[in-house]
A and B are shown apart, each in its own frame.
Chain A
Amino acid sequence: MSAKQSATKGPQEPLAAGTEVTYLEAIRQGILREMDGSPEVFLIGEDIGTYGGAFRLTAGFLERYGAERVIDTPISESGFVGCAIGAAMMGMRPVVEMQFIDFIACAFNQIVNFAAKNHYRWGQAVPMVIRGPSGGNVHGSAFHSQNPEGYFLHAPGIKIVAPATVEDAFGLIRSAIRDPNPVLFFEHKYLYRRIKGTLPEGEGLVPIGRARVVREGTDLSVITYAAMLHTALEAAERLAAEEGIEIEVIDLRTLKPLDDETLVASVKKTGRALVLTEEQKTGSVAGEVAARIAENCFAWLDGPVQRFCCPDTPVPYSPPLEEHYRPNVERLCERIKRLANY
């Protein structure tokens, strides 16, 4: 498909509605439209210009928008996140790329102490996006596979978004760029070129703060996001076929602020909840979700709220280790069966 080929190199044009694209292309298309529409939007990060980004997500952007809107930086995550904060306060809409999301740790102070607290402290909005490839399953080892959402969940003033589908990737990056707050946009690198979807008619905006019921079910709610959504859906199909268990699958999409309403409605309906995430279990988003369900759905629960996450270890490198570390469909089905029969 020629549209898709142009996606990996050369200057970019917006692709037509209806075009089939990858998750990565959807993000690129979303940014492209926002940049076309708003001169305030600019990109900043390492190797995003000439090179087009480590994953080539911004290939062609430099040619299209010029060096004033596609800024290659020195290796200084704290520096360029700070720079984006300053520009955002001036009314610009910076979109910061972390080459790998793991490097966000180097900008932690700027994010949680400067960007996140600014509006509360003195009323000045900081509309910016920090995006980058997160997640594992690519044997990237401890520093190229992390899911840092758990670290930032605790920072008041931050929003966190983690799309699982092509449509959401497109609609959420656009909403993130338009949001007047600092938004962390965690892309899952395993999904970049592995899933496809269709570019919508119209703006295709997806609201921040709303979860989505991806599959309706009656027996148990699986709450998840990002790459694990696909694991959940596979398990749901298998369990429906093999065991007649009907799973409701919820894609959180936004991790902060959480969409309590959708969660609670689902769990009240099914009476059972399993939170599935790729995070290390302790201190995870999954823990926060589980705690909320436990608090808000107590009278409706027919079994304990369970979490299925990675264990509390760094992400291991070697394939057998990483496979053992990650939740997979088999083990998920087992857990669900146990909980469904609780």
Chain B
Amino acid sequence: MSRISSLHDAVAELVVDGDTVALEGFTHLIPHAAGHEIIRQGRRDLHLVRMTPDMVYDQLIGAGCATKLTFSWGGNPGVGSLQRFRDAVENQWPHPLEIEEHSHAGMATRYAAGAANLPFGILRGYVGTGLPEHTSTITQIECPFTGESLTAVPALRPDVSIVHAQRADREGNVQMWGLTGVQKEAVLAAKRSIVTVEEIVDHLEPVPYSVVLPWWVVTAVCEVPNGAHPSFAMGYSVRDNAFYKAWDAVSKDRESFTAWIEQHVLGTTTYEEFRRSAGVEVPASV
């Protein structure tokens, strides 16, 4: 596969049944199109990882792609619950979903440890909460100099990390800016990576507060304009809040969810087709 490829080919080659897969994005730059492609290609037994699983993880879980979720906050921000996630945890539908639950700080520490090729990271966290009792990947470690007790969490090393960025150049160097969350760490911690971008350009102009991932740490770059919709790409689009709100009704029951996935995701071949099918417009950046 060449570094610049179609999203179809990248997912076909790099996302394998049973993989640990992180699609990261902190409200901004969520790789929605890539999530749909995983559903379309019928991946199974995935261990999904993300700090803030939102609508796209709700879809992956409801579509039966995942058997495990590692996360720190799973909701539809400003709207409410993730209905498919809840149905999986509360009622094992479409099948049981094992969960490994952390805090944001712990997940960030775990990605950073993975990016740095360390087996674990340390933080001041979790102590006194109910999490260590239920999550085996939280333990205590003693400072060898002060004797102080700190929390240790193992590195996250996904098989594949997938993120969305604003731009790449033809060599495959990737540039993202605005709120870039934990995406750099997610890509650097992973064995393989896919980056969908708004556009591929000849030259990347430096931008303040940008993160650049050089071509040699990215496995595949796919040009997918609006691939983060209904999330947004700063400078290209704004967040489609109406779409997030509408998700609540679609996902409320199994039938309406399944019909929606079948018609709009499984029944289409690209994210652009999906948007036409679902009748959504991408709100443009002002």
Do chains A and B interact in one complex?
no
Q: Which A residues fall within an 8 A CB radius of B?
A: none
Q: Which B residues fall within an 8 A CB radius of A?
A: none
